[in-house]
Structure 1
Amino acid sequence: MHRNRSKKHLLNSLLPAVFMLFAASACTLHAQETHTPQSTIQTPVKLTLPDAISLALEHNRDVQVAAKDIDDAEARIKEVYGRAYPQLNGNVSYTRNIELPVLFIPPNTPFNPSPKAQKFEMGLKNDVVAGVSASQVLFDPQLNTGIQIAKRYRNYAELSSDSKQEEIVRDVKIAFYAVLLSERLVDVARQSVELAQAHYDNIKAHYDQGTAAEFDLLRAEVQLANARPQLSRQENGLALSKDNLKLKIGLEPQQQLDIIGNLAVEAAPETDTESDIDNLIASNTMIRALKAQEAMLEKNISIENAAYFPVLSAFANYNYQAQDNSLNIGDYEWVNTFMAGLTLSVPLFNGFQTKHRVAQARIGMDRAVLSRMQIEDGIRLALDQAKLDLKEAKERYDALAQSVGQAHRAVDIADVRFRSGVGTQLEVLDSQTALAQTESEQALAAFDYFAALAEWEKLTSSMREN
């Protein structure tokens, strides 16, 4: 079970790196022509966990996208505020009256005493108008609410960015610990090869002297042959885990890494009691972002309700106009017109559209609340799971720490017994296999511990910062 969990963490963290290896091998010739200096790539970068986190927060694409969302929120606030400022527009128009408009005068009137209607052409062939118009909203409930929504959207974007950064930090931690795990497994596999090689050399020397059977020599050869492929697999796993880490922190695939760190498990952190779980959930960045979204949707209900209220605006128009039958604009006689006034728009009936838009806004609000409650339940479960994983991994690591010392002692004893002619080759091989397995299990326990710790720190980061 524990091994399966460790493998799941490794597969989740190493899967993107598999695609990087294919991409890197397909672009080998192109990589030689990149702008990155070859000497820089060949020089290993010494990398601690804080260095890796800093690089990820600087270069990770998801973090950059979240930062753009904040910029977008700022732009939206300014856009909404712009609607509260006076609106000023200029216009110039030219109209060619191909057929002049006609005014009809009714018959038998003081202006037309004849029994037939008379018609008179109005205007001239060319009409030129240049003007400026201005308007100012004086009362609009939707505008005021829109400003409040824009501010809440900025808060939501900032919290979403923080939540994304916490996810990136957790993923980088797990990827960093995966490299340390792979390095430890390489060391264990290399030690197995060295022990198998030393045992084979000893058996070969006895065989050459006639004091060891051919069967013993063959078993030693098989043991050595089996150990070498295992070392190769672990070295490939190390390359994959390093590529995955480089992908997450934004380094070139060709860049060499020198990881500084270890998998030494110290005292487990103090986990909060059950009474503090509600505070942890309430302070979780994702939950705070969802509550900011709810506040935004609540104001959206207000903005839809505001459609029931009238809108009052002021306006002013200034025009410079002339008409003439010729195209000689310099000879036109220009006149000025200026007007100003108020406009009151009162909604009377729109087919109940406003009513249904308010209902939709309320449904969106209710949906957001239910989604947030569901995520709170998931976080509560994740907190419990992280606490249990931390405890279990720490206990497993401590138990295996003693077993590793005993396994080393068993290898030494088995080797001495065999050299003295008291022990058997089976004792030597079994002790070497047990040592490799115990050291590997201890490394996996340490990785499980740090992976659970990374998850716990992500879930409780806001509380610790506060």
Structure 2
Amino acid sequence: MNKLPAAVSISLFFSLMNKTLQRPRRWLGAALLGLAPLALPAQTPQGAPPVLGTGGTMALSLPQAIRYAVQTKSSLLATRLAEQTAVARVGEIKAQGLPQVNVAANLADNFKLQKSLVDFSAFGGPPLNGTTLTQRDIAAAQSGQAVTLSPAYGVAPATGPTPLAFGLQYAGNTAASFSQQLFDGSYLIGLKAAKVYQELSKKQTQQAEIDVVEQVSKAYYSTLVARSRLALLARNVQRLDTVLYQTNQTFKAGFAEKLDVDRLRVQRNNLVVEQQKAQRLTELSIALLKFQMGLPQAQPVVLTDSLNAAIVDAGALRQRLGAANFGTGSGPGGLGALPAPPAGAAPGAPAPAPGLNNGQPVQTDAAFNYNNRIEFSTLQTQQALAGLDLRNRTAGAYPRLSLTAAYGFTGSAKSVTDLFAFRGPSSRATNGFPNQNWFGFGNVGLALTVPVFDGFRRHYQVQQARIAQQTIERGFETLRQSIDLQDAQSRTTLINALDVLDNQQDNLTLAADVARVTRIKFNAGVGSNIEVFTAETSLREAQTNYYAAIYDVLVAKVDRDKATGELYQQAK
């Protein structure tokens, strides 16, 4: 199931988009076996997490450990940062439809002006060739009369194009531009895709939170089991010390052999080594719990929950589980039959090709447990994005219309000082002539872009988007089959774990009775030391198997809740 990446513009957004007993008398002391779900933290956890102590010990229940992990684990924080990035990118997409205003200014030193060739003879008309002065004009002028001289025209010499430089050495301009998108089909679809993409990022965060809940729960229960087994080993050592002391006293009184004492000492030494190993494993379990929580290893913690924090009826749990069924899935009454082929379809005929999605989440015919799985919901969101991508590719053929406007000033001068004089239309030189050096300009208009032919590029983009959408739609069947398998597998694993736990509980009860009777016989002088040694060994083995069975049940219940989506509902 491919995760769809984000985009920084509408086109890039879509181009990148295509790139998780029946024995009512038996009671199990495990919180996770409860018929009521555990109190797990909210998706946006309420209340503050446990505060790191300044050298003090942090008391942690399972809900507190989960809440702390959901709020502070670095991997989840990184996922939430990605979610915030998605929100920011959604805002970036929306901003493209808002008015765009830009202000620009520049100053240029045209140290070498560009010249253009101009043919003045092409302007037409006889060229001016001076004036004609007659004797009459001279006499009139000498007598004080006003004389008007008439220009004389002649044939101008033929000249070629003349190079002419336009403008002055220093020039500058400043302008403010405005544009407003009036219609763009891709933008409208991009707004819908932005919301769907934000929803996808939230679901990915939810998936990460579910994984953290699972990891912390398993680590917490592992620590509880290790701690309980360590306490049991301490009691076994204490009890064996008592037996060893009594046997040694009996040996000193001459009623027991030294071999009996030596056997008990060997047994005690082995038990002490086992206790030391269990102590180190308990410390390792706590270190793993801290890691899953994102808690510093130097922070001391104490677990406030115990294996018998909640007492539940295993028989009722068995009835709720029922039997694994690969055809109907989970739930008390099953999920019902899988969707049937369309009416009129020939037996064995291939399924029709998935229809094209228009960007709306699919309302599947799946039972509720499918929709409980965050993976299924995420795939629905991906399908919606794929449908919007297809619509966006198609909308690329629509015209685009924008409103544009600009207003500014441009000026030029022979020197920088003169350029920054900013003389307007009311400025006059000493001789009274206008000497304006800055001039205003403005425009407003509509820009229409009509795609005509792009070399079939859009055709192939639409084809790729359609194939990507159909690929996601094909993934629904694979995901359903996977969920069905996980459902049946988790149910079978949990039922087997319960059976093993029942058996180990019986074995533990029998082994404890045998060890008790054997010690009584040995103290009464009618039993042998070998019998005591064998019974104690069998008891320790039964205890180890019992706690291992408890842990298997706890883990199987977590996996079961995750497979049915209940772990997400609890975290929600």
TM surpasses 0.5: yes
State the partner residue of 1:306. 395
Q: Tell me if structure 2 keeps the 8 A contact 1:389–1:452.
A: yes
For residue 160 of structure 1, report the CA deviation from its aligned partner: 1.4
- Aligned match for 1:83, one of 88, 96, 99: 96
Q: Tell me if structure 2 keeps the 8 A contact 1:87–1:134.
A: yes
Partners in 1 of 2:541 and 2:71 — Cα distance?
Answer: 39
Rg larger in structure: 2
- Give the secondary structure class of the aligned counterpart of 1:330: coil
Question: Superposition pairs for residues 171-320 of structure 1, below 5 Å?
Answer: 171-264=215-308, 266-268=312-314, 269=317, 270-271=320-321, 272=331, 273-275=333-335, 278-320=367-409
Q: Deviations along 1:189-214, whole A, 9 cap, x unmatched? A: 22332233222222222222222222
| Residues 1:137 and 2:181 aligned together | yes
For residue 62 of structure 1, report the CA deviation from its aligned partner: 2.4
Question: Superposition pairs for residues 313-392 of structure 1, below 5 Å?
Answer: 313-328=402-417, 329-330=420-421, 332=423, 333-392=437-496
Question: Superposition pairs for residues 428-443 of structure 1, below 5 Å?
Answer: 428-443=532-547
Q: Tell me if structure 2 keeps the 8 A contact 1:389–1:448.
A: no
Question: Superposition pairs for residues 451-462 of structure 1, below 5 Å?
Answer: 451-459=555-563, 460-461=565-566, 462=568
Paired residue type of 2:444: A
- Give the secondary structure class of the aligned counterpart of 2:451: coil
State the partner residue of 2:516. 412
Paired residue type of 2:290: K
Partners in 1 of 2:237 and 2:212 — Cα distance?
Answer: 37
Whichever structure has more helix as a proportion of its residues is: 1
Partners in 2 of 1:278 and 1:432 — Cα distance?
Answer: 52
For residue 111 of structure 1, report the CA deviation from its aligned partner: 4.6
Partners in 1 of 2:124 and 2:73 — Cα distance?
Answer: 83
Paired residue type of 1:66: T
In the alignment of these two chains, the number of paired residues is: 429
Q: Tell me if structure 2 keeps the 8 A contact 1:263–1:447.
A: no
Partners in 2 of 1:218 and 1:199 — Cα distance?
Answer: 12
Q: Tell me if structure 2 keeps the 8 A contact 1:280–1:463.
A: no
State the partner residue of 1:128. 172
For residue 419 of structure 1, report the CA deviation from its aligned partner: 1.3
Any gaps of 5 or more consecutive residues in structure 1? 1-35
State the partner residue of 2:137. none
- Give the secondary structure class of the aligned counterpart of 1:308: coil
For residue 139 of structure 1, report the CA deviation from its aligned partner: 1.3
Q: Deviations along 1:236-290, whole A, 9 cap, x unmatched? A: 0100001111122232212222212233462344341432683202221121012
- Give the secondary structure class of the aligned counterpart of 1:367: helix
Q: Point out the more displaced range, 228-237 or 132-141.
A: 132-141
Partners in 2 of 1:364 and 1:247 — Cα distance?
Answer: 39
Q: Deviations along 1:165-192, whole A, 9 cap, x unmatched? A: 1111111111110001101221232233
Q: Tell me if structure 2 keeps the 8 A contact 1:106–1:112.
A: no
State the partner residue of 2:530. 426
Partners in 2 of 1:122 and 1:258 — Cα distance?
Answer: 86
For residue 63 of structure 1, report the CA deviation from its aligned partner: 2.0
Q: Point out the more displaced range, 366-375 or 153-162.
A: 366-375
Q: Tell me if structure 2 keeps the 8 A contact 1:200–1:221.
A: yes
Q: Point out the more displaced range, 119-128 or 177-186.
A: 119-128
Question: Superposition pairs for residues 25-174 of structure 1, below 5 Å?
Answer: 40-41=54-55, 43-106=56-119, 108-111=121-124, 114=158, 116-174=160-218
Paired residue type of 2:376: I
Q: 1:102 to 1:256 in 2, by over 3 A?
A: closer
For residue 331 of structure 1, report the CA deviation from its aligned partner: 5.8
For residue 359 of structure 1, report the CA deviation from its aligned partner: 2.4
State the partner residue of 2:25. none
Q: Point out the more displaced range, 162-171 or 65-74.
A: 65-74
Paired residue type of 1:438: A
For residue 117 of structure 1, report the CA deviation from its aligned partner: 2.7
State the partner residue of 1:8. none
Q: Point out the more displaced range, 369-378 or 211-220.
A: 369-378
Q: 1:127 to 1:450 in 2, by over 3 A?
A: same
- Give the secondary structure class of the aligned counterpart of 1:84: coil
For residue 141 of structure 1, report the CA deviation from its aligned partner: 0.9
For residue 320 of structure 1, report the CA deviation from its aligned partner: 0.7
* Percent of aligned pairs sharing the same letter: 22
Q: Tell me if structure 1 keeps the 8 A contact 2:422–2:438.
A: no
Partners in 2 of 1:464 and 1:315 — Cα distance?
Answer: 54
Q: Deviations along 1:396-429, whole A, 9 cap, x unmatched? A: 2233333323322211110011111211112111
Paired residue type of 1:198: T
For residue 372 of structure 1, report the CA deviation from its aligned partner: 4.7
Partners in 2 of 1:188 and 1:378 — Cα distance?
Answer: 41
- Give the secondary structure class of the aligned counterpart of 2:123: coil
Q: Tell me if structure 2 keeps the 8 A contact 1:48–1:261.
A: yes
Q: 1:225 to 1:380 in 2, by over 3 A?
A: same
Q: 1:55 to 1:71 in 2, by over 3 A?
A: same
Partners in 1 of 2:83 and 2:553 — Cα distance?
Answer: 35
For residue 112 of structure 1, report the CA deviation from its aligned partner: 7.6
Q: TM-score w.r.t. structure 2 length?
A: 0.70
Q: TM-score w.r.t. structure 1 length?
A: 0.86
State the partner residue of 2:554. 450
- Give the secondary structure class of the aligned counterpart of 2:403: strand
